[in-house]
């Protein structure tokens, strides 16, 4: 089914084709007509399924159908559409897709991208004339709002990209504040790979009769990723990683670790061993992070050692290997980590290092993802450690006491209720 049959204009279809979007993916096929019709949308699809274009294309079309002199961007600091994302990298990536799609349009909408970690002044200057589309991380958006640099009350569309990640990274409070600044009547679009209870609660409180799009993994959509689990003692992991890179001829490898310190340490050890490796984590400046990714994509680095910062929203074409040096915290994080490889029809390899102490945790990941992987033993790296005994339970209840603080779900429901109450009061006062 071509893009034209989904209701997109020939001009936008040509723009999409120029960016390599020749045929719509399943999520694009179902989402684009619903968004063009003005419906709220709840879309669940695995990473790499084309979610960004699924909302970018219809969003741009709806904006271009509004006369330029009637767009909110003609008014100081006003915006028409807001796209919230969890990380700087995803903000840049979404902004790049939107700008690329507008290049061939006769009167392209204005796209602005804002995020923390860099000076706020240039972003304030960019927003002085408003924007048709604003891509933002929650914290920086609130900073700009407090300085009266952006007017959110004019937004007609809200997109939550990687909604589960927004909540998982602790943005519940910021998200609730953003929602309270938006107009009560708007189009809401939720895109995410997973929908845990917190996201379901938010969707239930905000979406109005949404169109639901769920793309299940099928033989045609499941990435072609070979998954391996290697048993190894914790202290031997770096040596094993060096051995695998050399003996298996890995040219580019994305290695996931648990902490920023570990990313620096492992990268330094690899570099000293003659492997071009560098670290990637949240303490690097935005310029440094952008440079590392660009150089990695250009194959100037053999290995990038990263935290979960790179687990989502980063597209590295033809990345052949992902290694879980430290196991992810959850099955969801595991899926997103390995999803950095095997993208766009390419094959990929995902390797997990499993020690005696992490065996039980990896078994749980296997259970929740439906995997059963044989534990490989590499000659010269056979594990000898045994699992550390668990500490004895403390206290009569063998657990902590649940606190009185409101949960993410409570905060989001309260924000939605407040926004609804404000709308009612506004209507009654007219």
3-state DSSP call for residue 94?
helix
pLDDT band at 278, cuts 50/70/90?
very high
- Domain locations in the chain as residue ranges: 3-218, 224-376
Above 70 in pLDDT, residue 221?
no
Considering the chain, what percentage of its residues have pLDDT values greater than 70?
84
Does residue 92 have a pLDDT over 50? yes
Distance (Å, rounded) from C-alpha 256 to C-alpha 250?
A: 16
Query: Poorest-confidence range of 52-66, 129-143, 302-316?
Result: 302-316
**Given a cut of 90, is residue 402 above it in pLDDT?**
no
pLDDT: is 313 or 49 the higher one? 49
The pLDDT > 90 percentage for the chain reads 47
Query: What is the per-residue pLDDT for 229?
Result: 96
Please, are residues 152 and 117 in contact by the beta-carbon 8 Å criterion? Answer: no
pLDDT at residue number 416: 62
- The pLDDT value recorded for residue 425 is 54
Provide long-range contacts, Cβ within 8 A and 24+ apart, for 295-300.
296/252, 296/254, 299/251, 299/252, 300/276
Contacts of 312 (CB under 8 A, 6+ apart): 47, 86, 87, 90, 162, 165, 193, 336
Residue 265 pLDDT grade (very low, low, confident, very high; cuts 50, 70, 90): very high
In tens, the pLDDT along 67-81 reads 555 555 445 678 999
Check residue 74 and give its pLDDT.
46
363 — pLDDT class (breaks 50, 70, 90): very high
Q: Which of 62-71, 313-322, 397-406 has the highest mean pLDDT?
A: 313-322
Can you give the pLDDT at residue 280? 93
User: What confidence score (pLDDT) does residue 341 get?
Assistant: 87
Q: What is the mean pLDDT of the chain?
A: 84
Least confident of 76-90, 280-294, 404-418: 404-418
Residue bearing the bigger pLDDT, 72 or 226 = 226
How many CB atoms are located within 10 Å of the residue 287 CB? 10
Task: Give the per-residue pLDDT at 417.
Answer: 60
Check residue 399 and give its pLDDT.
44
pTM: 0.64
Provide the pLDDT confidence category of residue 365 given band limits of 50, 70 and 90: very high
**Predicted pLDDT at 400:** 43
Q: 3-218 adopts what CATH topology?
A: Rossmann fold (3.40.50)
User: Among 127-131, 220-224, 295-299, where is mean pLDDT lowest?
Assistant: 220-224
What pLDDT does 258 receive? Answer: 92
pLDDT reported for residue 373 = 93
Q: Tokens 């078994």 sit at which residue?
A: 363
Alpha-carbon distance of 323 to 119, in angstroms, equals 34
* Sole residue written with tokens 């690329």: 100
Residue 217 confidence (pLDDT) above 60: no
pLDDT, mean of residues 342-357: 87
224-376 belongs to CATH 3.30.70.100: no
Task: Give mean pLDDT, residues 92-121.
Answer: 89
Measured CA distances, 312 to 102, 159, 306, 334 (Å)? 24, 17, 12, 11
pLDDT digits (tens, 9 = 90+) for 366-377: 998 888 999 999
Q: 403 pLDDT exceeds 70?
A: no
Radius of gyration of the chain (CA): 23
* Residue 295: pLDDT band with limits 50, 70, 90: very high
**Same CATH fold, 224-376 and 3-218?**
yes
- Using the 8-state DSSP alphabet, how is residue 354 labeled? E
What does the pLDDT average to over 405-416? 60
- pLDDT, residue 219, reads 40
Question: Residue 415's pLDDT band (boundaries 50, 70, 90)?
Answer: low
Looking at per-residue pLDDT, the higher value among 390 and 245 belongs to 245
């Amino acid at each position: 089914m071509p893009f034209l049959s989904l209701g997109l204009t020939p001009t936008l279809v040509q723009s999409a084709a120029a960016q390599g979007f020749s045929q719509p993916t399943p999520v694009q096929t179902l989402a684009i007509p619903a968004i063009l019709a003005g419906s709220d949308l709840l879309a669940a699809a695995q990473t790499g399924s084309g979610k960004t274009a699924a909302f970018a294309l219809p969003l741009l079309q709806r904006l271009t159908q509004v006369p330029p002199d009637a767009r909110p961007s003609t008014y100081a600091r006003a915006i028409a559409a807001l796209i919230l994302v969890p990380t700087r990298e995803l903000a840049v990536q979404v902004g790049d897709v939107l700008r690329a799609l507008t290049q061939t349009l006769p009167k392209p909408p204005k796209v602005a991208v804002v995020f923390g970690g860099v000076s706020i002044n240039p972003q304030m200057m960019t927003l002085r004339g408003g924007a048709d589309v604003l891509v933002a991380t929650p914290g920086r958006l609130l900073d700009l709002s407090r300085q009266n640099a952006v007017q959110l009350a004019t937004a007609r569309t809200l997109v939550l990209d990687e909604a589960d990640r927004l909540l998982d990274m602790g943005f519940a409070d910021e998200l609730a504040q953003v929602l309270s600044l938006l107009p009560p009547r708007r189009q809401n679009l939720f895109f995410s790979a997973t929908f845990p209870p917190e996201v379901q609660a938010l969707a239930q409180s905000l979406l109005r009769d949404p169109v639901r799009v769920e793309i299940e993994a099928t033989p045609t959509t499941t990435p072609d990723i070979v998954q391996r689990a290697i048993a190894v003692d914790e202290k031997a992991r770096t040596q094993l990683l060096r051995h695998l890179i050399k003996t298996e001829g890995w040219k580019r490898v994305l290695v996931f670790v648990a902490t920023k310190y570990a990313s620096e340490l492992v990268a330094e050890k690899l570099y000293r061993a003659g492997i071009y490796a560098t670290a990637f984590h949240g303490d690097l400046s935005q310029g440094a992070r952008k440079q590392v990714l660009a150089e990695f994509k250009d194959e100037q680095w053999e290995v990038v050692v990263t935290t979960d910062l790179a687990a989502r929203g980063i597209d590295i074409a033809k990345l052949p290997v992902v290694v879980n040096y430290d196991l992810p915290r959850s099955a969801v994080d595991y899926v997103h980590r390995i999803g950095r490889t095997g993208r766009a029809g390419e094959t990929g390899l995902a390797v997990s290092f499993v020690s005696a102490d992490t065996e039980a945790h990896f078994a749980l990941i296997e259970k929740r993802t439906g995997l059963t992987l044989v534990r490989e033993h590499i000659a010269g790296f056979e594990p000898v450690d045994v699992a550390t005994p668990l500490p004895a339970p403390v206290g009569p209840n063998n657990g902590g006491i649940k606190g009185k603080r409101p949960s993410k779900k409570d905060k989001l429901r309260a924000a939605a209720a407040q926004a609804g109450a404000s709308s009612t009061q506004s209507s009654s006062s007219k």
